[in-house]
Amino acid sequence: MKRRILAGIGVITLGLITSAIYDSIKSIPIWTTLKDVLYWIWNAIFCAEFTVWQIILGLLVLFIILIILNKLKGDKQSEPAFKSYISENIGGYTWTWSWKWNDTTNSWNINNLNPECPKCKTIMHYDFDYGLDLYKVNCPRCDYYAFKIKPYKDVEAIILDNVRRKRDEQENKKPI
């Protein structure tokens, strides 16, 4: 009889301990979250009910993303290397310019080509003097003045030739 009572107390105690452990585990948020995640994964894999249009929409979005990524990559590759070439010393003056795409000729053109003042680095006025029949420059800041300046067309031709030479150099460097 004593043994039975002891066994009974033992079972009840074990039951209480088990219950207490289960309750404490249940109250841990991580455990609940993990359980929810596992449940969600299980549901997503085996119980998902995607409609046809949802699948099509998903593929369409993926397709658009791929197109955009490809376009961005393409744009970067088509950017010519010479576009960073915007300054050069020609005929004793530092010339600066920018590159502009010409839709009519389908080519890059030199734009805003101007000499810098050798004294104060200001962009100078550059004009053709019909009376003297030569190009002249004058600085708007320090009044530096000079004539017999290299004609615009010659400076432009030298810049374009430099680009061509650089490109040929790069082409020759490429392994065959």
Alpha-carbon distance of 166 to 88, in angstroms, equals 14
Interaction between residue 160 and Zn ion (CB under 5 A):
no
Q: Which of residues 58-117 bind Zn ion (CB under 5 A)?
A: 117
Looking at residue 90, the DSSP 8-state letter turns out to be E
**Closer to Zn ion at the Cβ: 94 or 109?**
94
**Closer to Zn ion at the Cβ: 94 or 122?**
122
Interaction between residue 155 and Zn ion (CB under 5 A):
no
When binding is defined by CB under 5 A, the residue of 119, 165, 166, 167 that contacts Zn ion is: 119
User: In this chain, which stretch among 4-12, 46-54, 73-81, 121-129 interacts with Zn ion, using CB under 5 A?
Assistant: 121-129
Token digits of residue 146: 């000079």
Residues 6+ apart with CB under 8 A from 148: 134, 135
Q: In angstroms, how far apart are the furthest CA atoms of the chain?
A: 135
DSSP codes of every residue in 115-130: EBPTTT-PBPEEEEET
**Closer to Zn ion at the Cβ: 8 or 140?**
140
Short-list 151, 120, 145, 119, CA closest to 133 = 151
Query: At its nearest, how many Å lie between Zn ion and the CB of residue 87?
Result: 17
Binding interface with Zn ion (CB under 5 A): 117, 119-120, 122, 139, 141-142, 144
